[in-house]
Amino acid sequence: MSREYDLSDPTDLEVLKSDFEFYSADEWQEFIDWSLLPENKKQLSFEERGCLMAARKKALYNSHPSSKQMVWALKIADKIEEVKGGSS
């Protein structure tokens, strides 16, 4: 789902919000759990794990982080899905 967003374009911002809402709080939690497994711990940095936790919290309360945080969280989700897809 990796794509580029123009954060100054209202249409792209709506697409970004939609893409962020595609993931539920449970799915963000699955990403966090995956990143904490011993064999995956080195795949993500501490900051990336924190971004996933913030995304999960926002999803729980049906709110949105900043646009930049949403882009970052989606890139991390793409990275995890790519690694998981390659190891299956």
pLDDT at 56: 97
DSSP sequence for 22-50: TS-HHHHHHHHHHHHSTTTGGGS-HHHHH
Residue 88: its pLDDT value, please? 52
pLDDT of residue 16: 95
Q: Residue 85: its pLDDT value, please?
A: 83
Domain contains 49:
yes
| CA pair distance 60, 72, nearest whole angstrom | 18
Instruction: Dig out the tokens for 30 from the structure.
Output: 């699955």
Structural domain of 56: 18-87
What CA–CA distances, in Å, run from 22 to 13, 18, 26, 41, 87?
14, 6, 11, 25, 23
pLDDT tens column, 32-75: 999 999 999 999 999 999 999 999 999 999 888 999 999 999 99
- What's the number of domains the chain is made of? 1
Residue 40 belongs to some domain of the structure: yes
65 within some domain: yes
pLDDT at 1 over 80: no
Report if residue 66 sits inside a domain: yes
Note the pTM of the prediction, 2 decimals.
Answer: 0.89
Find, among 20, 15, 18, the residue nearest to 75 by Cα: 20
